[in-house]
Structure 1
Amino acid sequence: MGGALATTLGSLLYPAMLGVQKVNSAPERLIATPATGPLTEADRDFVVKVRSAGLWEYAVGHMALRKGTTKAVKIAGEHLIDGDASLDAACRKAAAQLGITLPNQSSPQQQSFVSQLNAENGKQFDTDMATIERAANGQILATIASVRTTTKNSLVRALANQANNTVLDHITVMEKTGLVDFDQVLAQETTPPKLPAQDLTPPPPVPGQPQVVLTPSANSTVSPSPSVG
């Protein structure tokens, strides 16, 4: 994939709507035919979802290191930081090759999670962090499976593989805290709130704004992943 495609399609490929809930009216609609395989709206939206999820979880990971009251919560924070930094690097590389414009901020819904947790301390923070993260990762796991089994694009397929591993790790470390409220998780996963599309959509980046880069910790918990593309 050359830079010309990215320049030509970049502004065209930013999704109008996306989120944990399925909001696309034509997810199978073909929007580009790069050398790595046909690219659909669902493929494009998935790449943006990965980026958006990483942006808010990365912030929560740093909160967990600062405010977590148990070793397990701090370990979970380390996994969020390192897993999302590694996945974000793969996401940014795939997006550049596919001409997909990525956000620099998460969706309003995801930002509300960050604001809620930022206002909490002590055991309340620990419990809500573990529960919110477990529910969010459980929801996106189904999206990953759907995209992985339907995409015809090799870059999107490789990103889905890495996202699957990262999300399963995050689910595991949240459960290891012993603080997940599984009743709340089940309720959120089976009956998500009916939010307007704009609350589920990360805002497009400001023109000329440098791309936000998520950096791993000095002693990363993540092994180097195979290069995407």
Structure 2
Amino acid sequence: MIAARSKRRLHRWSVGVLAMTLTVLLAPAGMARAADATPVPVPPNTGLTDKGAGAVSAADRDFIIKVRLAGLWEIPAGNMAIEKSEDPRVVSIGRTIAQQHVVLDKLDIAVAKKLGVALPNQPNSNQQGWLNEMKNATSSETFNQIYIDRLRAAHGNIFPAIATIRASTRNDSVRKLAQQTNQFVMTHMTLLESSGIVDFGSLPTAPAPAAAAGGPVPVDNQMLAAAGAGGVPGVNTSVILLVLAGALVAGVITTMRIFRTR
């Protein structure tokens, strides 16, 4: 009888410990999922002035010109999407991007006028070639692929340049234009990807990372990212927790079986 009571106590104790441990182990995974639902912050409209104050670098001038060039070919490309595509998604994407580039073009022209930057009135030779490709497309499917891939690649190319100008320019008007352009370009990249036909394999790859700084322990970007996230490179934290929980369950079951046989 005493032995039976001991077994029952052991069983209740084992179940209680198992439940508490599983709660502790799985809580971080639950919190991580909850964190995933946190809204992404939107940059505030405060703190950005537009007085034309500050030195204007050659990179700033080049950026202003590139924003203008983007509108000179993406507006007619979007109009072609409305006319030539039979896919409602592509038509909607083309219309939205064309309309938004009209707005961005006005912002760019205003900054260029303020800073005395001469702007082009025609697309460059590469952009004209892409427009000709779209014009010569003989089917809706062919046009759609050309339109989506050319615009997605172009937006990907200018995206890093925007970040560099936003982070480094000394001129307040260029800084504001870079932040505004960033919002437009991110929106357009997402719209283009929503088509579901982007050929990601054809996009240029990122350059190799710079050599890590010297020190007693070599550190690379992956390790820094993992340290900041509180994880291990290449290992999913949820998987680790589930493995530990499974091992604990197996251990408790084995212990209970041993006592039952006594």
Q: TM-score, normalised by structure 2?
A: 0.58
1:129 corresponds to which residue?
Answer: 147
- Partners of 2:154 and 2:199 in 1: CA distance: 13
Runs of 5+ in structure 1 lacking a partner? 1-33, 191-229
1:46 corresponds to which residue?
Answer: 63
- Partners of 1:87 and 1:71 in 2: CA distance: 24
Question: Which structure has the higher relative contact order (CA within 8 Å, separation 6+)?
Answer: 1
Q: Tell me, yes or no, if structure 1 residue 142 matches structure 2 residue 184.
A: no
Shift of 1:47: 0.2
Q: Residue 142 of structure 1: SS of its match in structure 2?
A: helix
Letter in 1 for 2:166: R
- Partners of 1:107 and 1:90 in 2: CA distance: 20
Q: How many aligned residue pairs are there?
A: 156
- Partners of 1:35 and 1:126 in 2: CA distance: 40
Structure-2 change in CA distance of 1:186 and 1:35 (3 Å): closer
- Partners of 1:162 and 1:108 in 2: CA distance: 26
Higher fraction of helix: 2
1:84 corresponds to which residue?
Answer: 101
Decide which structure has the larger Cα Rg and report it. Answer: 2
Letter in 2 for 1:77: G
2:177 corresponds to which residue?
Answer: 159
Q: Tell me, yes or no, if structure 1 residue 108 matches structure 2 residue 125.
A: yes
* Aligned-CA RMSD value: 1.4
Q: Residue 203 of structure 2: SS of its match in structure 1?
A: helix
Q: TM-score, normalised by structure 1?
A: 0.66
- Partners of 1:70 and 1:175 in 2: CA distance: 14
Q: Residue 39 of structure 1: SS of its match in structure 2?
A: coil
Within 5 A, what are the aligned runs for 1:23-42? 36-42=53-59
Within 5 A, what are the aligned runs for 1:2-81? 36-81=53-98
- Partners of 1:101 and 1:158 in 2: CA distance: 19
Runs of 5+ in structure 2 lacking a partner? 1-50, 208-262
Q: Tell me, yes or no, if structure 1 residue 177 matches structure 2 residue 195.
A: yes
Letter in 2 for 1:176: S
Runs of 4+ in 1 over 3 A off after TM superposition: none
Shift of 1:35: 5.0
- Partners of 2:203 and 2:144 in 1: CA distance: 15
